[in-house]
Amino acid sequence: MRPPADSEPFHVSDRFRLTLESSILSLEAGAARDERTLALIQDADHRRRQQRLVDAQLERAFRLRELLARTVRDSETSSTPALRY
């Protein structure tokens, strides 16, 4: 089976889509919470590591949002065969 082209949508179940959405919201909320604690951290190295954590959470959320934008619910599919995840 060939990998999907960048323009091809991923056909996913409602449950998988909700899981993606939940993960995105959780990552963004965690990043916001961790960013608020930056002002409380005294040690510069600890602040740097905390900022890297925030950046990684936001990057992951961004990538999941990109994936989410490429998804199509199974219930919206036509009769054409599709990759299912």
Residue 53 half-sphere exposure toward CB, CA atoms < 13 A: 16
Q: Phi then psi for 41, rounded to 5 degrees? A: -85, 125
Rg (Cα) of the chain, in Å, rounded? 18
Residue 74's pLDDT is 79
Residue 20's pLDDT is 95
Contact 44, 81 (CB under 8 A): no
Alpha helices, DSSP H, located in the chain: 14-37, 44-69
Specify the pTM: 0.76
Q: Is the pLDDT of residue 27 over 90?
A: yes
Q: Phi then psi for 84, rounded to 5 degrees? A: -120, 135
What's the mean pLDDT in 47-72? 96
